[in-house]
Amino acid sequence: MNIEERINYLRKIISYHSKRYYENDAPEISDFEYDKLFEELKTLESDNPQYFSENSPTQRVGGKALDKFEEVKLTVKMNSLTDVFDFDSLRAFIRKVKKEVGKDTEFSVEPKIDGLSVSLQYENGALKIGATRGNGTVGENVTANVRTIRTIPLELNEGVNITVRGEVYMPHKSFNKLNLEKEQKGENLWANPRNAAAGSLRCLDSKETAKRGLDIFVFNYQEGELDSATHKETIEKIQALGFKTIPLLYVGSDEDSIVNAVVELGKVREKLDYDIDGTVIKVNSLEKRKEMGEGTSTPKWAVAYKFPPEQKRTKLLDIAIQVGRTGVLTPNAVLEPVRLAGTTVSRATLHNIDIIKEKDIRIGDTVIVQKAGDIIPEVVGSVKEARDGSEAPYSMPDRCPSCGGELEYDDADDFLDDDEDFTLGALRCTNPSCPAQLERNLAHFASKKAMNMEGVGEKLVKALLDAGLIHDASDLYYITKEEIQGLERMGEKSADNFIKSVEDSKNVGLGRVIYALGIRHIGEVASSALADKFGSIDALFEATVDEITEVEDFGEIMAKSVVDFFAKASTREIIEKLRKAGVSMANEIKEKSNEFEGLTFVLTGTLENMTRDEAAEMIKARGGKVSSSVSSKTDYVLAGESAGSKLTKAQALGIKIIDKEAFLKMCE
């Protein structure tokens, strides 16, 4: 056997054993033997560069870091799915399909993996391009990163031309390991495996992606040289080519069996080593799929049944009070830790004292918790039959737990927009120097939607306060590199990043500056409206209540709050310090178009390669209005991936729904 033959042999045998280890969990050789084969291959490739192959197992470690991802046009559009949330809707879908394309129509049922969708394109059996879903038509080229995922074959068992679609995800064991490492470094933890998977796949440094332990399930044949009549056949054939494929839970036409397969998956989802957020039900026949066709952004031949929020019982150990940036006291449940929807939950919101009384929640109760929208933990209620008499009713404190200051309830006639943590009748600390309020005010000031100081979160703000480096928001602009570098875990690179982030924030725009100031009752949308109306901070200092109420959706309460805020001497002092630091506090004069004048948009879901803030700015720049809720006055709903109840309501009201591609065409 010559050197080239030995290299090719090692590549094949290593790929075989890698598949046995990572996919089948049935290794045939020891780690030591595997490592010896791997090291031999690395040495031979290094000594004989003429035999280099980008599809060698040695290339899974990642390569040179990128400056950015290139765009790639997808050869087959990657649509999202229509969601159904109950079995009546699922049965209605099944019956509608059977009525349209035949009573004998078969369906496949498979888990809906909670990850990031990718397209994998192969030429002559070799991996050519890996791309994210993007807007469904144009994605990002993440080929270097998908090569590091060991369950993605670099070369297929046959030399075919084929494109498949899969879901990249992070197994629980990889997620837990990653968060443990971040915790040990004092870094912010990933919220859930899906976010971790998306962030890992989009690392510009593929060597970093290689460390993250990502995995994939291939769930659809897009195009190529496979000759199949059904979805089930394509899954079997692509599995034979070397792909790790989605498990088909059921294939058949019986309506009750389809529903039962969904129910059974829901029972075992907690035991899986990966997160699922539902079940996908597809027409099995590829010919019937073509007959049914595609909608604007979703296929007509498939739906995703979304599981209701997972609920668990646990013990309510205590009720702790959190003081918000506006002084509102919010009770939070301290729970016996419980795993819920993919993460361990030890705290949950109780909203306010009225809800605690209404649900009769007591310290020591066994309570039912769930994640609202699979994100925010909340207490649903108490299990009264589990009480033993030791449970204690709860009452709100008489003084602020942060500063000891006086508390008062807000007037029940007060009003607030959706962006602030104010609640009607909320209990509020009246001390403007309350440390808890200051800490959260500063974190809010630096947050993404405000001044967008990347990396300046609650932990760093607390460290800066403890070190005496800041006393109000404007002080952030006067911290030197030497001062920030003196903090624990802040090296030279971190200090440089901080200085750059603060410098970049000086030109975020007037609307963000107003929002960052944390004016009571004034959220993100209202701040933008004030910026558009008055054009500068100086004009707001002179504005009257009557002038401010002329702004759309502004009432007297909001207007008075703005006037009172700018009448304070402390506000003038902070503004002057910000001005001296070089923060821009006047709108640039821009020529606006008016093609969206009179139109109201609602944004929902995740837009690939575009934030909802960016889409909102594009709408407002063209004279349109962005609303946070769907109503009969809504003209368009711009829906991205994982759109929720807003999309459902829009469908019920018959409101026009558009995807990102259609939206961009409207903006041309």
Name the residues annotated as catalytic: 112
Region at 417 (left for phi over 0; alpha for psi -120 to 50; beta for the rest): beta
Give Cα separations from 50 to 4, 46, 57, 154, 363 (angstroms). Answer: 9, 9, 16, 19, 71
**Which structure tokens are listed for 139?**
């994605």
What is the C-alpha to C-alpha distance for residues 176 and 85, in angstroms, rounded to an integer?
Answer: 30
What's phi and psi for 404, nearest 5 deg? 80, 10
Closest CA to 322 of 184, 191, 419, 443: 443
* 3-state helix, strand and coil shares in percent for the chain, rounded to the nearest 5: 40, 20, 40
Task: Provide the sign of the torsion angle of the four alpha carbons 31, 36, 41, 46, taken in this order.
Answer: positive
Neighbours of 54 (CB within 10 A): 12
What is the C-alpha to C-alpha distance for residues 565 and 284, in angstroms, rounded to an integer?
Answer: 62
Q: Specify the pairing of strand 116-123 against strand 162-169.
A: antiparallel
Neighbours of 514 (CB within 10 A): 25
What is the C-alpha to C-alpha distance for residues 452 and 303, in angstroms, rounded to an integer?
Answer: 38
Helix (H, G, I), strand (E, B) or coil at 218: strand
Contact (Cβ atoms closer than 8 angstroms) between residue 304 and residue 82: yes
How open is the CA angle 80-83-84, to the nearest 5 degrees? Answer: 160
What is the C-alpha to C-alpha distance for residues 68 and 205, in angstroms, rounded to an integer?
Answer: 10
Which residues fall within 8 angstroms of residue 209, CB to CB, at 6 or more apart? 62, 145, 148, 149, 200, 201, 203
Which residues fall within 8 angstroms of residue 176, CB to CB, at 6 or more apart? none
Place of tokens 């019937």: 288
Extract the runs of DSSP E, i.e. beta strands, from 41-187.
71-73, 82-84, 107-113, 116-123, 126-132, 138-140, 162-169
What is the C-alpha to C-alpha distance for residues 38 and 14, in angstroms, rounded to an integer?
Answer: 7
How open is the CA angle 467-470-471, to the nearest 5 degrees? Answer: 115
What is the C-alpha to C-alpha distance for residues 154 and 61, in angstroms, rounded to an integer?
Answer: 13
Neighbours of 316 (CB within 10 A): 23
What's phi and psi for 104, nearest 5 deg? -90, 10
